[in-house]
Structure 1
Amino acid sequence: MIDIILRNHEKSFEEILTGIDKSSFIEKRDENNTWEIDFTISRTIRNYLTFDMLTFECSIFLNNQEFIVKKATCSALGDKVTKSIIATHVYYTIQDGFQYNTITGTLSVNDCLSHIFSAGSRGFTYEVIDKNNILEKVEQENFGNSNYLQLINEVIEDYKLVVLPENKHLVFFPQEDYGVRIENPIRYNYNTDNLNLEIDTFSLRTQIKGFGKKKEDDSYYFLPITYTSSEAEKWGIRIQTPVEDDRYTSQGNMLRRLRLDLQDYPATTISTNLKLSYDVNLGDFVMLIYEPLAIEYDVKIVGFTKYWLCDKPPEITLSNNKMMTKNIIASLFKKINGGIK
């Protein structure tokens, strides 16, 4: 059984946390979005000291990762006292920093990150891993004047990155270029018997226009460009809201932005509940094999819910990247059409 460690805010006390409702203890993580632990705990004769010290802003350690209690709800029923705890990963404390100054220019990821932390590191370090040299510079205008977390989210969006925090050390990867392949497939009648595919076309678009920066004479650095997806042959011309961003003075950079922004495939959420214990890590590439839907594709795990203290397999969210989604939808419709007589 894994140990959950409590450390008070003053860092003067550390102890194993006992009395946790094991079925309630979960770790939830979604790529670039959420990383938190939730649980309820009851006060007992054995844990009354740690129970009373378990309050907002103290630290909880799970697998050597630090989480900060941000919400603690205390309840009493007769003489039974319980707390409901929500603790977010220490990475999210980065929002407590603020960069007042701004910079403008054609900047790399490292340029932006260096500017953010020039106002003070707050104990954070970072690195950018770009094994295939696919990251490009982007024209930034007035980058700054916001809290660190908001600025990092802007960098993630502008440069299409994933951030994988190791406590206060932040590792940035291009979205197309992170993850580890594991030899443990998710397979129908082996470790799962359900697959949920939520598919909608409300936001499906096939064409988008981009407007970059203007010069002092009101002319553009480059003429506005229109990107039309090959999916227009299937779905027709469906126009997405244009990108108007005066950070761009390079047509090539704008074209990359349009290709990445265009939602030219049905929005798809793919999730499954596993039947067996399964070692899940964010970014893992696995083979998804689900014969009833004629699906056999490599997918990436981009979210999960783990139940650390009870014998319940994890719930996982699978990648909805463009190529994988197109392939799965094609297989699904082929299966459906093949069953029509």
Structure 2
Amino acid sequence: MAILAVKDISGIAEPLPGFFATRSNGIEGEKTLNVTGYKTDLNQHGYKLVKNENILIYKDEEYIIKTHKEKTSKNGVGVEVTALHRIFDDLINYRIYEEKSGTLRINAMLDFALKGTGYTYEVDYTDLPTSVEVQNFGWDNSLALLRSILEKFGAEFDYAGKRIYIAKKIGSKKDEPFLRYKYNVSEPEKEIDTSSFATYIRGYGKQKDDGTYVVQAEYTSPLATIYGIKHADPVKDERFTDKSSLLAEMKNKLGDSLDISLTFTAIELANMGFKDVRKGDYLWCVIEPFDINVQLRVLTIEDYSNDKKPPVFTFGSVTKKASDLIADFDTTKKTVDKVIDASTGTIKASALNTAGLALKSDLDAHVKNTDIHVTASEKLTWDSKESGGNRRIGSPSDEYNLDGSDV
């Protein structure tokens, strides 16, 4: 059982025996701790310290309690709290009261954003831009400035203690083994959600005193040629002062994606041959029924203070580019063109003469079959009031007319 302790703002620390912790570690850098427990004789002193803004210590890292819920039950009085890793609390509460403009390297921007925070950094420059152009960079908290730097350079970050690690992509790509349908992946799911689908978006950056914008842009997805113009909510963000960064954010908001999510425990991954899987790692996934052969990424890792409960790894999601969707559409269109007569909009007779399918003559005979179809005279007789038109079927509590209208 991993040791869990609590410390108040004066530095007094107490253990929390009988408490359970669940830690979630995500690819966006967030790291949260959910802790639950009941008050007992063994933890009564520590229990009193489990309050907002006090510190939870778990696996040599500190988390600041942000939400606190206490309740009673048959087991007595208990508490559930959620805590955020210290780095977020430290950086969001430290502010930079100056700004920079010009073409800057990432290390210069990091020095500026983290100055005075007590945090240091290490950068893997592989595949990162040498520099970016910024205007009025500053006058914000250090966390917001760090996020802005990562966005401008297209980078990700991780951390340990007060050391921040930055790279184009954290994690590594593993060529073998791989996750495969019916081999080590059972019942995968594919879901495509178009409820927020859009093909056009506008963006507005920093606003001037006169109400105009320093930069604004618009973007139309190639999919608009197929589905037409569908407007998305515009991006309005004071952080953007250059068009390229604004456009990148707009495209990200409008992105077409195919979401695939797979979840495995550490034991399941080990049985498949995967060892030392970390956040950000890419693993090959092959799912033939969905025509998927991609590298899925470890997005979150959830571990527990209970040693008998193995960590859980969640994989996803894959972005399918607009050009790929257009290619899929073109393939479908070519197939449809083979069976639909463009001039009449009806099925081509030749398309029905396929082995295993009904012939056009068969369909004609079926339609004309008077033994299984109601004739015109029969329909007139049925519809007449004298013959019981509007006849009811079903139970008395669920009655409706044969024509589909309510009783």
Residue 73 of structure 1 aligns with an amino acid whose one-letter code is: K
Structure 1 counterpart SS, 2:42: coil
Q: Structure 2 length normalisation: TM-score? A: 0.62
Assess if the C-alpha contact under 8 Å between 1:303 and 1:318 holds in 2.
no
Larger relative strand fraction = 1
Once the two structures are TM-superposed, the CA of residue 59 in structure 1 deviates from its matched residue by: 2.8
Partner of 1:11: 11
Residue 18 of structure 2 aligns with an amino acid whose one-letter code is: G
Partner of 1:163: 157
- C-alpha distance in 1 between matches for 2:185 and 2:9: 41
- C-alpha distance in 1 between matches for 2:98 and 2:197: 38
Candidates 301, 311, 314, aligned match of 2:312: 314
Candidates 133, 143, 147, aligned match of 1:138: 133
Structure 2 counterpart SS, 1:45: coil
Residue 309 of structure 2 aligns with an amino acid whose one-letter code is: D
- C-alpha distance in 2 between matches for 1:244 and 1:80: 48
Deviations 1:286-310 (CA, angstroms, capped at 9, x unpaired)? 1123344232321222234344525
Once the two structures are TM-superposed, the CA of residue 152 in structure 1 deviates from its matched residue by: 2.0
Assess if the C-alpha contact under 8 Å between 1:208 and 1:258 holds in 2.
no
**Structure showing greater relative contact order (alpha-carbon pairs closer than 8 Å, 6 or more residues apart):** 1
| Residue 95 (str. 1) matches residue 95 (str. 2) | no
| Correspondence 1:256-275 to 2 at 5 A | 258=247, 261-263=250-252, 265-274=255-264
Distance 1:306 1:247, change over 3 A: same
**Uncovered stretches (5+) of structure 2, i.e. residues with no partner:** 207-213, 270-275, 336-356, 358-407
| Residue 64 (str. 1) matches residue 60 (str. 2) | yes
Q: Name the % identity.
A: 23
Residue 292 of structure 2 aligns with an amino acid whose one-letter code is: I
- C-alpha distance in 1 between matches for 2:140 and 2:225: 42
- C-alpha distance in 2 between matches for 1:29 and 1:321: 22
- C-alpha distance in 1 between matches for 2:34 and 2:203: 43
Q: Structure 1 length normalisation: TM-score? A: 0.72
| Residue 288 (str. 1) matches residue 280 (str. 2) | no
Candidates 76, 80, 86, aligned match of 1:80: 76
- C-alpha distance in 2 between matches for 1:273 and 1:81: 34
- C-alpha distance in 2 between matches for 1:46 and 1:285: 44
Structure 1 counterpart SS, 2:260: strand
- C-alpha distance in 2 between matches for 1:169 and 1:324: 38
Partner of 1:217: none
Once the two structures are TM-superposed, the CA of residue 89 in structure 1 deviates from its matched residue by: 1.0
- C-alpha distance in 2 between matches for 1:325 and 1:50: 57
Candidates 287, 293, 297, aligned match of 2:294: 297
- C-alpha distance in 1 between matches for 2:198 and 2:244: 16
Partner of 2:172: 180
Distance 1:184 1:111, change over 3 A: same
Assess if the C-alpha contact under 8 Å between 1:43 and 1:82 holds in 2.
yes
Structure 1 counterpart SS, 2:51: coil
| Correspondence 1:206-221 to 2 at 5 A | none
Once the two structures are TM-superposed, the CA of residue 80 in structure 1 deviates from its matched residue by: 0.9
Assess if the C-alpha contact under 8 Å between 1:8 and 1:14 holds in 2.
no
How many residue pairs get aligned? The number is 312
- C-alpha distance in 2 between matches for 1:73 and 1:179: 35
Once the two structures are TM-superposed, the CA of residue 124 in structure 1 deviates from its matched residue by: 1.5
Once the two structures are TM-superposed, the CA of residue 46 in structure 1 deviates from its matched residue by: 2.3
Assess if the C-alpha contact under 8 Å between 1:138 and 1:247 holds in 2.
no
- C-alpha distance in 1 between matches for 2:235 and 2:75: 61
Structure 1 counterpart SS, 2:134: strand
- C-alpha distance in 2 between matches for 1:262 and 1:52: 49
Once the two structures are TM-superposed, the CA of residue 169 in structure 1 deviates from its matched residue by: 1.6
- C-alpha distance in 2 between matches for 1:301 and 1:79: 37
- C-alpha distance in 1 between matches for 2:84 and 2:204: 38
Residue 266 of structure 1 aligns with an amino acid whose one-letter code is: D
